[in-house]
Structure 1
Amino acid sequence: MEKATFGNGCFWCTEAVFQELEGVEKVESGYAGGPEENPTYKQVCSGTTGHAEVLQITYDPQKISYAELLEVFWKTHDPTTLNQQGNDVGPQYRSIVLYHNEEQKQLAEQYKQELDASGAFNSPIVTTIEPLTRYYPAEDYHQNYFNTHGHEPYCSFVIRPKVDKFRQVFKDKLKPAAAK
């Protein structure tokens, strides 16, 4: 198993997407990218800790590659908005790839460069690519959020449309249960 760490907005929304990928064994919401030790959700939401809401993804590279995870990362959020995803505003919602090794760094930088050069977006990509120095798991109530709170309005109106779109675009990469 290997790990990937991405921040692409609210972790409730992005966790639901990555959980459905074949080869992904675990998705954990957490905080990374800032100097504050053991931050709480309330502290991170204040925008003063330097941390972003991130996902730490444990995956089987025999079933899904880091490059495929990057593809999902880039295509399931807007990497051109600085410190914002939809209505979520602040540095804690920034677009960030936190690499675990030199190979991940090179793949992320290459993908970003190619995507920027392709003209896929009308604005430049602002995603930062940084080494993962520290990662802190989010509080238990943030884990598996969409699957346990799918009936709540935020999940119905914000997360579900994102998951439905993801399922259409990446139907060939879904776990069998998610493909139904």
Structure 2
Amino acid sequence: MELTKVAFGGGCHWCTEAVFQSLKGVEKVEQGFVASIDENSSFSEAVIVHFQVEDITLKTLIEVHLLTHKSTSNHSMRKKYRSAIYSFSDSQNKEATALLDNFQEQFNKKIITQVYPFSAFKASEEAFQNYYLKNPAKPFCKQFINPKLEVIKKKFSNYASL
């Protein structure tokens, strides 16, 4: 089985981590801060997703990403909470860019998600790792993470593991 990785920035990394941890085929999710080569090593909240390409495709991961955060809206904290896909190779960068273009027709507004080449990663503090798995009853999790997991259960039920 081939294990590969891609990184996603989709608002709060606690939410993004929980979304990808809920998918079959995802072996590991590293939560923290990712920098891009094109962004002068500016870090934003993100996760690195390690997945089995035989079990879940990059296309599915990107679709999950787009449908579980505000991929079409800007806000004042967008630099810290960037909507992004961080690629680990030129071929992954090209594939992700093409997939974003293909998904655009499913949205009424322009997708603001950008594809960047991955540069660096800094893990979150241990206390914040696996945040949802440790704290599912916290108000933050109920208000912000549970609705995203409902999208997984409804739209991606064949991949849902939680």
Say yes or no: TM over 0.5: yes
Unaligned runs of 5+ in 1: 36-48
Identity of aligned residues (%): 31
Write the letter of the residue equivalent to 2:4.
E
1:124 aligns with 2:118: no
Alignment of 1:57 onto 2:57:
no
Q: CA deviation at 1:90?
A: 3.9
Q: Deviations over 1:86-117 (max 9, x none)?
A: xxx3411110111001221111111111222x
What letter is aligned with 1:99?
A: S
Q: Residue 9 of structure 2 aligns to which amino acid in structure 1?
A: G
Query: Is it true that 1:6 corresponds to 2:8 in the alignment?
Result: yes
C-alpha contact (below 8 Å) 1:100/1:132 kept by paired residues: yes
1:108 aligns with 2:96: yes
1:139 maps to: 125
Report how many residues are paired.
157
Deviates more, 1:9-18 or 1:58-67: 58-67
Match of 1:91 among 59, 66, 79: 79
Maintained 8 Å contact 1:83/1:92: no
- Matched residue type, 2:97: E
Contact 1:83–1:93 (8 Å) recurs in 2 = no
Once the two structures are superposed, what CA deviation does each residue of 1:116-161 show, in whole Å capped at 9, x if it has no partner? 2x1x323222111110011111111121101101111111122112
Name segments (4+ residues, structure 1) moved above 3 Å: none
| Whole-angstrom CA distance in 1 between matches of 2:141 and 2:22 | 16
Contact 2:5 / 2:49 at 8 angstroms: preserved in 1? yes
Letter in 2 for 1:106: K
**Whole-angstrom CA distance in 2 between matches of 1:21 and 1:96:** 19
Other structure's SS at 2:61 match = helix
Map of 1:26 onto structure 2? 28
CA-to-aligned-CA distance 1:18-56 (integer Å, 9 cap, x gap): 111111111111101268xxxxxxxxxxxxx83111011
**Structure-1 separation of matches of 2:154 and 2:35:** 31
Structure 2 equivalent of residue 169 of structure 1: 155
Does structure 1 retain, via aligned residues, the 8 Å contact 2:30–2:123? yes
1:171 alignment partner, SS class = coil
CA distance, structure 1, for counterparts of residue 154 and residue 109 of structure 2: 25
Letter in 2 for 1:174: A
Structure 2, gaps ≥5 residues long: none
2:73 match: 81
TM-score normalised over the length of structure 1: 0.80
